[in-house]
Each structure stands twice: as C-alpha cells, then as structure tokens.
Amino acid sequence: MDSHYLKQIQAFYRSHKRMPSYSELMAVVGFRSKNAAYKLVERFVQRDWLDKDAKGRLLPGRLFQDLPVLGTVSAGFPSPADEELTDTMSLDAYLIGNKEATYILKVNGHSMIDAGILPGDMLLVERGADPRDGDIVIAQVDRAWTMKYFRKRGAAVFLEAANKDYQPIHPQEELKIAAVVRAVIRKYH
Amino acid sequence: MDSHYLKQIQAFYRSHKRMPSYSELMAVVGFRSKNAAYKLVERFVQRDWLDKDAKGRLLPGRLFQDLPVLGTVSAGFPSPADEELTDTMSLDAYLIGNKEATYILKVNGHSMIDAGILPGDMLLVERGADPRDGDIVIAQVDRAWTMKYFRKRGAAVFLEAANKDYQPIHPQEELKIAAVVRAVIRKYH
DNA sequence: AGTGTAGGTAAACGTTCGTTCACCGTCAAG
DNA sequence: CTTGACGGTGAACGAACGTTTACCTACACT
C-alpha cells in the first residue's frame, strides 16, 4: 500500500530532520532502482502528498509538519478513518508569529488562575510588541516583574490583576511592558 | 558580524523548509566563493551553531527549531541580552510524544473551566493511549462524546466532571476512551 | 489472444554536491 | 619588519544529485 511508503518517508524526515534524496528513498522503501523511487514521488506529488521545490528536491509539506484537526469536543469526535481529514494545522506556524521576538516563560504562582493560567503552564510571549486593551502582559512595575491584564481607557493605561480582590495598578511614571502573552501551553505529564 | 550570517541562514530555512547547500549559502550571505561558505559553516559547527550529518549536509539544530526559555514569571524576567540563553526547547518535541496518534480538538463549552480549560482552547489529544488516574479524557458515554476526568479506584473506573456540581458518571457496561488529553493550547488573538 | 497500463529494474546524462588545494589581502603580535 | 592567523577568491576533485530513456514483468480489460 502506498500509505505505508508515506509513513516510511515521514519516519525518515523525523529522524533525519530533512527529506530523503531519491537514492535514500530507494533504500528506505526497499527498491532496487532509483527510478522506482522517482516515479513513486511523482505519484505522491500528483496526490498532493509530497512537494518538490524548483530544483527537484523533496519538501516537507502538510503531512510532515501538521497535525489533523478532528473538530470540536461538544460537536462530537469523529473517527479519523471515517471522513476526509482535510483540516490540518502546524503548531509552530499557528503559535509563533514573530519567531525572532518569541520567548518561553514558565508560570510560577496562582495570580492568573482566574484567567485560566495555572502554575506550571508555559507562556509564549512576544517582546517589543505594543499591547492592546485586554491583552495579558509581562510588565515591570516598581522594579518588579508581574503578569497582568493591560487596560487602556482613552489615553490612560493601567494594569489589572486577574484576581478581582486586587486593586488595579495605576503607574505613576514608568510602566515598562516587557512582553505580550500570545499563548498559554499546558502539558499534562 | 557572524550572528548576522546566522540569521540569514535561519531565514533561508524558514522560507525554504530546508537548510541551504554551500552554493546557496554562498549566494545568501553574499560570498563569491563556495569555499568561503564552507569555512563559515566549519566555524559555526565548532561553536555549536550548526550541525552537519554524516554526508556533510547541514542540519537544522537548536537554533532553528527551538525557542529560548527565559525563566519563570515570578522569579523575574531577565533580558535576553544580559545572560547566556542556553536553555531552549522545541514546541513540537515538547508537546508531541506520539505524532501518529496525536490530533487537535477544539473546546466548545464551559464544562472544563474549573480545570483551566476555556472555550476556544485547542486540545492535543492522543488516541489509543490508556489513561491513568487523574487524566483528562475524551470518552464516549451513552453514545455521546464528553471530556471528563478519568478516575480509577482499584479496579473500578469512572468519570468525573471538572464542575463539582455534576455527579460522577459510573458507566454500566461500555466506557469507550477515545483519547487522552495531553496538552491544552490557548492562543490570544 | 492482444493490448495498455502500472510499477518495477538497470544504465546513463549533465548538474550540483561537499570537499580540498593553492593563493591573496588585512591586521595584530612578536 | 616579519610572521602567522584569519577570512576571503578561484579552480578542481570524485561522489551524489535529479532526471531521462529503455526494457521488463504482472495484471485488467477488451
């Protein structure tokens, strides 16, 4: 079956971090002829299973970097074999807008628990971005770094904790926004 | 400066989805000699900025796929220029344990809000894994798919909602675990 | 029985690959 | 002033590259 060949190519990509050449592909799938691998690739390219660049080299496409999106939880959980899984997405492309300015930060306290951010969560933050009203930001207030909601009322800006017991922080002079929180990632171990 | 060359290589990798050859690298950084690119790579390999495989091809290493980890929020937010940012991690490698069985699912309701899972969040679920006590699972109970805590008391298993108002579900016969929730991803727009 | 197609082997092609060698400026150290 | 290291140019090497052509089954369809 052809899909078995595809899985072998995907395995090669994961272990070598690059696509195979035709000689390597020939060895991977067990052909004795480089041309057999060439024709296999041409078949896969026509089915949109593989991509080639201008120089004929293989490129990792959707099937190599993306994950299948099944749907929504409450709307049901269809079996992947049942329907066409056309909807896929790449985690990296989805989460990282500006890779140069993106950093990872670990959450330590319970201060943002009302915003659904738990201790141990990972934050994807972007430095140098200017925050909009309602964004969660990493800010420096009175020489201490904290995570707060960024609020803008006209020209006035202030910081608001996720916990409603705390009072909003209206900075006197200096309000240094270090980074804007772009995503929250929680992994269960 | 050498780091400028590195950024150009990283840009090539992001746009072409593969590492450049020496001829391409020569063109990218503006050299007129392929050997200059070769020596540049050798310098970078010695500094652990680049990796080469057994056949001499360039490999994408930490600097191409990973994001820098700055630290924890409450512990401070050090500037990336200040210290050595040796700690990095790859989102894909961190989140995806078994790529063959990993799927993305979108959260629709508020049922798991007590577990820090909000509507609109993305779930990374793994099919076919057997859950441990306390895991969040996608289960089929009475022909409907739901997201619940998986509980195991000795030999007895049952499902528990994140909302404490609901009663635990003790299945009579059939308890089909469709998938185990491995990670929660929330992106702010 | 004859024919066409799909998928394989085998060999050859020009091109590009990674690598090496010889050579040349610039600049800091002895 | 001389020397050596460094970073670049330019040309050449064999090996591997993607691609093409020719040929060979096995099998489905008239």
pLDDT in tens, A165-178: 777 777 666 678 89
Percent of chain A with pLDDT over 90: 62
Query: Do B71 and B6 reside in the same domain of the chain?
Result: yes
**pLDDT tens digit sequence for A127-145:** 989 999 999 999 877 666 7
| B126 strand-pairing partners | B102, B180
Q: How confident is the model at residue A161 (pLDDT cuts 50, 70, 90)?
A: confident
Q: Do B57 and A18 touch (CB under 8 A)?
A: yes
At A76 the pLDDT is 63
Percent of chain A with pLDDT over 70: 89
Query: Do A34 and A62 reside in the same domain of the chain?
Result: yes
Cβ within 7 A of any strand C atom: A 31-36, 39-40, 43, 55; B 21-24, 34-35, 38, 52, 55-58
At A79 the pLDDT is 60
- Mean per-residue pLDDT for A6-26? 96
Measured between CB atoms, which of B108, B111, B186 is closest to A72?
Answer: B108
Q: In this structure, what CATH number is given to the domain that contains residue B77?
A: 1.10.10
Query: Do A175 and A130 reside in the same domain of the chain?
Result: yes
Res A106 pLDDT > 80: yes
- Number of domains making up chain A: 2
Q: Which residues contact A7 (CB under 8 A, 6 or more apart)?
A: B100
Q: Which of residues 96-135 of B touch A (CB under 8 A)?
A: 96, 99-100, 102-109, 111, 113, 116-118, 121, 123-124, 127, 135
Question: Average per-residue pLDDT in chain B?
Answer: 88
Q: How confident is the model at residue B154 (pLDDT cuts 50, 70, 90)?
A: confident
The whole-angstrom separation of Cα A149 and Cα A2 is: 51
Helix (H, G, I), strand (E, B) or coil at B27: helix
- Mean per-residue pLDDT for B111-120? 90
Q: Which of residues 58-87 of B touch A (CB under 8 A)?
A: 59-60, 67-77, 80
Domain extent at residue A33: 2-91
Q: Which residues contact A20 (CB under 8 A, 6 or more apart)?
A: A9, A12, A13, A28, A58
Which residues in chain B are contacts of A150 at CB distance < 8 A?
none
- Mean per-residue pLDDT for A63-83? 76
Instruction: Identify residue B82 by its one-letter amino acid code.
Output: D
Res B81 pLDDT > 60: no
Res B80 pLDDT > 70: no
More confident residue, B82 or A54: A54
Q: Do B104 and A77 touch (CB under 8 A)?
A: no
Instruction: Identify residue A181 by its one-letter amino acid code.
Output: V
At B172 the pLDDT is 62
At B45 the pLDDT is 95
Query: Do B119 and B83 reside in the same domain of the chain?
Result: no
From the CA of B36, how many Å to the C1' of C23? 14
More confident residue, A18 or B175: A18
Query: Do B29 and B71 reside in the same domain of the chain?
Result: yes
Query: Do B85 and B109 reside in the same domain of the chain?
Result: no
At B49 the pLDDT is 95
Query: Do A106 and A179 reside in the same domain of the chain?
Result: yes
Helix, strand and coil in chain B, % to nearest 5: 25, 30, 45
Query: Do B21 and B80 reside in the same domain of the chain?
Result: yes
At B10 the pLDDT is 96
At B176 the pLDDT is 83
At A54 the pLDDT is 92
Query: Do B69 and B129 reside in the same domain of the chain?
Result: no
Query: Do B70 and B105 reside in the same domain of the chain?
Result: no
Res B99 pLDDT > 80: yes
At A1 the pLDDT is 73
- Other C-beta atoms closer than 10 Å to the C-beta of A23 total 10
**pLDDT tens digit sequence for A32-41:** 999 999 999 9
At B23 the pLDDT is 97
**pLDDT tens digit sequence for B7-63:** 999 999 999 999 999 999 999 999 999 999 999 999 999 999 999 999 999 999 999
Instruction: Identify residue B163 by its one-letter amino acid code.
Output: N
How many angstroms from the chain centroid is the CA of residue A160? 28
- Mean per-residue pLDDT for A158-162? 83
Q: Which of residues 1-40 of B touch A (CB under 8 A)?
A: 14, 16-19
Q: Which residues contact B83 (CB under 8 A, 6 or more apart)?
A: none
Q: Do B181 and A188 touch (CB under 8 A)?
A: yes
Instruction: Identify the domain boundary among B49, B66, B91.
Output: B91
